[in-house]
Amino acid sequence: MSIQHIEEPILLRDFRLATPNATWNQLKANSDVNNALKVTAIKKTGGLCVYCEHKLIAKIDYQIEHFYPKKGNDNSEFGNGIANRAIEWANLYPGCLGGTAKLAHFSVQQDIDCRTGANKRNKNKLTCGQKKGEADPEGVFISPLELNNQNPIFLFNEADGSISLNEDNCVTQNISVELGVNHITRLNLDSERLRGGRLALATSLRSEFNKAFEFDAETVDELMDDWLEIDEEGMYGHPFISLIYSKYSLEV
């Protein structure tokens, strides 16, 4: 998934310049800065989780993800010449809650299945930032800035929603196969929980695509444009955008 270039919110910039050694907890304690960060950062991915690409839900299934660890409240550990990654705009991305969203917030079964049920006692369901934790990403996780829509590094199985690594696309983007495998495995992106969400989308899209193709093949391009469009608020209409690019960009 391509990361959109979004300007740093003014409130965050001013906070960062005024308190360059601020901790993450200090930023969150400033409600104005925290709110500005959340409503702006989500546009970096068009409203999708930076890792699994599930659609985010403000206040319910959405958190700010630090690609490089924020290191709690001790910002002295970042080292000389390294920006304060706890509050650095370039290190802040929108992420889902990794399957730990509260059951009470949902009534639709698909949301319940795909967004809840993960916890420390059920670690096989944890994904994304909840699975990554405070791990150093170097050599383990792919930077969001290295991925793009045109050459998704994932292969999607429409039969069960599973994903695997597209080794050819990794090679063209100078991403090692080992790194790609680590990324999928360590973030648990092929979890049963996420498979269900991808399968539901793939089934729906295939039905729409086939109907459009049978009715008027020339309208398929318009359908694709609609699926991949970012709206006026900077959001995608569908989750798992790499699945759409991977499965349908070669069919139109």
Measured from the Cβ of residue 172, the count of other Cβ atoms closer than 10 Å reads 11
Q: Given this model, what pLDDT does residue 252 score?
A: 43
Return the structure tokens found at 114. 């795909």
- Amino acid residing at 134: E
The reported pLDDT for the residue numbered 191 is: 97
pLDDT given for residue 8 in this prediction: 99
4 token code pair? 């959109």
pTM for the model stands at 0.94
68, 144 Cβ separation under 8 angstroms: no
Q: Where are the domains of the chain?
A: 10-248
Cβ-Cβ contacts under 8 Å for 122 (sequence gap 6 or more): none
Show the low-confidence residues of the chain (pLDDT under 70): 72-77, 79, 217, 249-252
Within 13 A of 138's CA, how many CA atoms are on the CB side?
1
Q: Look at the block and give the residue holding tokens 């100078």.
A: 174
Pairing label, strands 163-165, 92-95: unpaired
